[in-house]
Amino acid sequence: MKTYKEFIGEAKQPKPDAPQTTSKNWERKHPGMKLHAYPSHNDTVRLQTLEVPKEQRGRGIGSKAVEAIKKVANKQNKRVTLTPQAERGYKKKLDTFYLEKGFKRNAGRNKDFSVSDTMIWDPKK
């Protein structure tokens, strides 16, 4: 028989489809936005797409969406990976955006060969 503490602990466990649910909620809240995040491996959430329509940019919508995905991943103790795909002429700006959000480049001495994406965010421990 489970103790009360074990029972409550199981009830508080985040759902495995939480990243996908978060994505759908953001797309519903902001029509025209594309946000696709899903569990990739046992310890990873992959942020595949984040597109904010040009007329909605500069309002912090993308930043808040990234923070929401990170929050879900942090609750599950999973890292977030991504490979930025910028419009022509915006690659450096997009890289800077993700670096400011706490992502690190998956390259050089920090290279994690278990991940093919170019940027990684690790959960707070």
Contact 81, 63 (CB under 8 A): no
User: Could you give the number of structural domains in the chain?
Assistant: 1
Q: How high is the pLDDT of residue 79? A: 94
User: In CATH, what number is assigned to the domain containing residue 19?
Assistant: 3.40.630.30
Q: Please give the residue range of the domain that contains residue 94.
A: 4-121
Mean predicted confidence (pLDDT) in 117-121: 95
pLDDT digits (tens, 9 = 90+) for 51-103: 999 898 899 999 999 999 999 999 989 999 999 998 888 889 999 999 999 99
**Cβ burial 50-67 (10 Å sphere, 16+ → b, else e):** bebeeeeeeeebbeebbe
Average pLDDT of the residues of the chain: 86
Write down the pTM of the prediction: 0.80
pLDDT attached to residue 81: 95
